[in-house]
């Protein structure tokens, strides 16, 4: 054990300093695309121990890579010749404030555990996605995760009131406020959220809770074209007072791949369609959720009536409304399998982009010919959080030469830029999008980021080489 590990072991216990085979699970990311060689994996039990670790790291100039649930897709937790600091033991749910509708939690709290804790008080923490059983609060804050309910509740940043952060030199910054308004200077909370551990290590947070819907109306809908989807979203938002919680797009290519890959998968309809939408509406008002004399739930009846009218008008081709929780769960499973569906099979180019809501169909039309011009034998699969313009696009290539792969990424970037979008939506930047950051991000914005990084982490020990590309490309290190 190295001298620095021996120092840290005296603080957190030797059994909490993992090396060799014990550290191996932390050397590779979830995708298997990035493999490093960490000096050791550290598992502190509280913020004070994180602080002491960072004091030692700062004094010795030792890089530290924070890790939460290890479910990222961009290589943000790659660690070579660096200490990996896991927040998994900072997993206490310290308080559920029912009246204030907040949860005070450690960074190691697993997302699904927070869901369960809120549910016990008839509340919800609305952030959700397929990896909720392993993703942790520290990670979702560090990437400003989105998920399926952004259309109603916003990204993680919108759901956070306060945070606690250990800075590069070990000082603890206490921003653990439950205030909804605080104009006391720069918003350092927002600065830390989405920084992927490059500016500080988030150790705790105050998260917003929301009223639990009393009933859901969930359906799979087939449309004539993707251009019709935005009209459907607006109709449903207007008719429900903005109660649409999710609006997810799964084209034929995704459905076909899901059926081929996932055991026991079932098609959404008897016939196959090009445009398949999963919609969910959450009713919190009693009058929308209480069954009438005929036994029908009003919010479900409203969805059925709206879709029936659109079917008669030819604006909807087919629709299946979930009649029970099992059918609802099956619809959601189809969407939440996306991580496995999209990353099975190699080689592939995976992108996570956002465009204005009315440009998703244009992206789909524009991207295919540009990719085919590079690799005529490539195949694409898209899945989209259509309600917020987030597109997950994977291209399975026949030509895996580095130049061809980079050309594929550049083609996606070009289309996104032409449509006024962003090359990074909800997965973060990590390593995989560093070159894109250098090419596409406003240069003044990059200079501002570098200045902030240098001010808060002058020794560049917090997750170095991630998110912010150096001014000199030759200086890039991981």
Q: CA-CA distance, 196 to 236, in Å (whole number)?
A: 35
Q: What is the pLDDT of residues 121-180, one digit of tens each?
A: 999 999 999 889 999 999 999 999 999 999 999 999 999 999 999 999 999 999 999 999
pLDDT at 475 (0 to 100): 64
Q: What is the pLDDT of residues 407-451, one digit of tens each?
A: 999 999 999 999 999 999 999 999 989 999 999 999 999 999 999
Q: Which residue has the tokens 């961009």?
A: 74
Q: What is the pLDDT of residues 22-61, one digit of tens each?
A: 999 998 887 777 888 999 999 999 999 999 999 999 999 9
- The pairing of beta strand 40-42 with beta strand 17-18: antiparallel
Mean pLDDT of the chain: 94
Going along the chain from its start, the domains and CATH numbers come out as 3-86 (3.30.43.10), 93-211 (3.30.465.10), 215-336 (3.30.70.2190), 345-435 (3.30.70.2740)
Q: Looking at per-residue confidence, does 234 or 1 come out higher?
A: 234
pLDDT at 472 (0 to 100): 78
Distances (CA, A) of 3 to 24, 49, 56, 317: 20, 18, 11, 67
* pLDDT above 90: residue 370: yes
| Cis peptide bond prior to 347, omega within 30° of 0 | yes
Q: Could you tell me the strand order of the sheet in which 40-42 lies?
A: 17-18, 40-42, 83-86, 64-67
Distances (CA, A) of 374 to 253, 345, 382, 419, 428: 20, 19, 18, 21, 26
Tokens, residue 137: 């609060």
* pLDDT above 60: residue 478: no
* pLDDT above 90: residue 346: no
Q: Which helix (H) or strand (E) holds 210?
A: strand 210-211
Dihedral pair phi/psi, residue 135, rounded to 5°:
-65, 145
- The model's pTM is 0.93
- CB of 74 closer than 8 Å to CB of 81: no
Q: What is the pLDDT of residues 246-258, one digit of tens each?
A: 999 999 999 999 9
Burial class (CB in 10 A: 0-12, 13-18, 19+), 249: buried
| 412-416 own/partner pairs: CB under 8 Å, 24+ apart | 412/349, 412/351, 412/353, 412/367, 412/371, 413/439, 413/440, 414/370, 415/363, 415/366, 415/367, 415/370, 416/353, 416/354, 416/355, 416/363
Q: CA-CA distance, 375 to 346, in Å (whole number)?
A: 15
């Amino acid at each position: 054990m190295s001298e620095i590990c021996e120092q840290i072991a005296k603080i957190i216990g030797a059994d909490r300093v993992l090396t060799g085979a014990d550290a191996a699970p932390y050397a590779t990311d979830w995708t298997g695309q990035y493999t490093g060689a960490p000096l050791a994996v550290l598992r502190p039990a509280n913020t004070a121990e994180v602080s002491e670790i960072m004091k030692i790291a700062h004094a010795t100039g030792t890089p530290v890579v924070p890790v939460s649930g290890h479910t990222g897709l961009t290589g943000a937790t790659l660690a070579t010749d660096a200490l990996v600091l896991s927040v998994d033991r900072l997993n206490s749910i310290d308080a559920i404030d029912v009246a204030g509708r907040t949860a005070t939690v450690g960074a190691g709290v697993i997302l699904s555990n927070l869901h369960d804790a809120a549910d016990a008080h008839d509340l919800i923490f609305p952030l959700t996605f397929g990896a909720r059983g392993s993703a942790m609060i520290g990670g979702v804050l560090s990437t400003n995760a989105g998920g399926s309910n952004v259309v109603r509740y916003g990204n993680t940043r919108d759901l956070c009131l306060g945070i606690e952060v250990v800075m590069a030199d070990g000082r603890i910054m206490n921003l653990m406020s439950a205030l909804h308004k605080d104009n006391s200077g720069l918003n350092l909370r927002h600065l830390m959220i989405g920084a992927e551990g490059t500016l500080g290590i988030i150790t705790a947070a105050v998260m917003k809770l929301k009223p639990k819907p009393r009933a859901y109306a969930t359906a799979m809908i087939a449309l004539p074209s993707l251009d019709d989807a935005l009209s459907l979203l607006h109709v449903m938002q207007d008719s429900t007072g903005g109660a649409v919680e999710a609006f997810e797009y799964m084209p034929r290519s995704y459905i076909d791949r899901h059926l081929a890959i996932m055991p026991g998968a079932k098609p959404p309809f008897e016939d196959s369609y090009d445009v398949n939408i999963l919609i969910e509406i959450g009713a919190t008002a009693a009058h929308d959720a209480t069954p009438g004399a005929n036994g029908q739930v009003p919010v479900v009846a409203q969805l059925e009536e709206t879709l029936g009218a659109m079917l008669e008008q030819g604006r909807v081709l087919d629709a299946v409304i979930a009649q029970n929780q099992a059918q609802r769960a099956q619809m959601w499973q189809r969407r939440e399998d996306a991580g496995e569906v999209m990353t099975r099979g190699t080689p592939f180019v995976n992108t996570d982009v956002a465009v204005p809501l009315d440009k998703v169909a244009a992206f789909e039309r524009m991207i295919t010919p540009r990719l085919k011009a590079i690799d005529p034998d490539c195949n694409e699969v898209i899945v989209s959080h259509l309600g917020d313009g987030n597109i997950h696009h994977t291209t399975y290539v026949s030509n895996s030469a580095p130049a061809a792969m980079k050309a594929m990424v550049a083609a996606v970037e070009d289309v996104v830029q032409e449509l006024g979008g962003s090359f990074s939506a909800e997965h973060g930047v990590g390593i995989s999008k560093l070159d894109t950051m250098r090419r596409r991000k406003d240069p003044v914005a990059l200079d501002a980021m570098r200045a902030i990084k240098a001010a808060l982490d002058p020794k560049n020990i917090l997750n170095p080489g991630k998110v912010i590309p150096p001014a000199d490309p030759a200086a890039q290190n991981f």
